[in-house]
Chains A and B, each alone.
Chain A
């Protein structure tokens, strides 16, 4: 028995930890807020193999498994990598698109009023038709998290429809769960640093139990969500019959835990966190966006409930 990341996943993540701090800084995220497609960052992700991580080597990928993928997505979340990352990772290989960062795919879905990332994507995939759209016109819609670059989209479906997308969407939910826990870890790290540094009443505010306790509670949430994400990755990798339930669990647990972290971290920062000049909001607002994306915690709990209650 061994429950945890494979050595391969840990090694891949360690490499990413060298690359991402310069490839994706808070300045990169702020540029994405302004509509910059961040092409050099995408090139780096492509060159490092993130975009073809689970694609077989014979098809130009790294041939790693879902455990490496969640480790990578968690790390990308920590650095707040602007999208459409998850979307591109799950759908580009199925469409035979380039995995070097030159193709960035937004996904449209009839249940969503707008298409996230459509304003910066190179392609739009219609999830309901299973086809890419040609002649896309995108009317931007403003969103709370500026990196979402959402738009209302029209276009003409083109090409052979891709079928059997269930496992692709499960992969997107799984990746988003890991990304959320990365965002949460970043917010906790920022908060811990701030609590050590900020002094009030003559002492660092990190000595106050009124701040320690909610932060500890929030960390319990993320700590217990991570193994759930790992189990989901394991089930996905083996195409196990419980993959659907495990992924639903991962998305619900990661969403709730990351949201709670965002609440506590904002409160712990006080007024400085309640500004757009300070970086915390970059990670907090992405958390809000992803909590609602790829099914809410409530949606996923209902998926599980239906299985449990028959």
Chain B
């Protein structure tokens, strides 16, 4: 056990804290409306200019070569300072790790700097009207043509699809294949002829969702990430990031608990307040343990599913407590009611919690699938 931050880690944290305290914007509108998204882009570009947009990336792509520990410290400071949600997160935290693992040199050199600078804005094209939890049943097609692929089909529940410029998605490239075979991971500019994007409102009324239609959309061979037909394993690498800590660093919940403590009624619910603090701390400590184990080569199958089950339920409990403390004011539109509605998406997206529980039961505990 060694919980002491090194000199270098302390300096990094101090630099982040000082920059964030002077620069974090106050009161940005929701990033899930067209005008709010634009306001967020300004902030994203400001982060990038100061090289805080993607600290764990190599210097060459606009990062700071930060270790996981430094990244965790940055996230903690970011949310402590009241930093807003990251509208670039699907690119920076989901696609980028996949690009680093599977991308060609050219793909990395072309895509990563524009992603970090919030010039290209990426959304995830996985779910389809008929393929949600059962992602492997997807039917959007990529047919081989001269020099590339022709795409047809539909993606949906695409987060911030209406405001993004690019989509990474899974397409069936081998029409004779079934399930997780014969899928290819493709990188698609949404400006391509034949793409139609229709935004629609999420639970909270903001236009945070979109459906994306592909009608004979052409993408070149260079749009393939990983190998042709390898889409499933490439995509699974991204699910680890999505469920795991890169999407939900502990700093978020610690910051939420600090805000809870400031609510006027906090003292009236001492045990629930204590439980909120305990749960956020447990998440932070579990994360430290998880990172330590991974660095020691002792990561476990199914661990990101444990994580996802915990943070998604934690987020809801924290907001439920806040709404209870607010009493009659809970029904007003505001940060807590908004946050509550957002938290409710946690057990649904990134693989429903029911799917995660199957993974825990089968891969971690060894119960039979069938």
Interface residues of A (CB under 8 A from B): 1-6, 67, 188, 192, 195-196, 203-204, 206-207, 209, 212-213, 215-217, 219-220, 223-228, 230-231, 234, 249, 252-253, 298, 301-302, 304-306, 308-309
Contact = CB atoms under 8 A, between A and B. Distances in A.
Interface of B: 1-6, 9, 69, 261, 266-267, 270-271, 273-275, 277-279, 281-283, 285-286, 288-289, 291-293, 296, 306, 309-310, 354, 356-358, 360-362, 364-370
A128 to B, nearest CB: 27
Given A227-B288, A249-B278, A220 B360 contact: yes
Nearest to A310: B267
Which of A2, A225, A226 is the most central at the interface, judged by chain B CB atoms within 10 Å of its CB? A2
A217 B364 CA distance: 12
Contacts of A227: 282, 285-286, 288-289
Given A4-B289, A249-B278, A301-B271, A207 B2 contact: no
B310 A220 contact: yes
Contacts of A6: 1
Contacts of A223: 286, 306
B270 A212 contact: no
Contact of A1 (B3, B267, B270, B364): B3
A215 B365 CA distance: 9
17 contacts: A1-B2, A1-B291, A4-B1, A4-B296, A5-B1, A212-B358, A212-B361, A219-B306, A230-B285, A230-B289, A249-B282, A253-B278, A301-B275, A305-B274, A309-B261, A309-B266, A309-B270
A309 to B, nearest CB: 5
Contacts of B306: 219-220, 223-224
B361 A4 contact: no
Contact of B2 (A2, A226, A304): A2
B312 to A, nearest CB: 11
Contacts of B292: 1-4
Nearest to A228: B282
Contact of B1 (A2, A195, A304): A2
A298 B270 CA distance: 10
B261 A217 contact: no
A301 B278 contact: yes
A225 B309 contact: no
A212 B302 CA distance: 14
A120 B1 CA distance: 37
A226 B278 CA distance: 13
Contact of A192 (B2, B275, B289, B366): B366
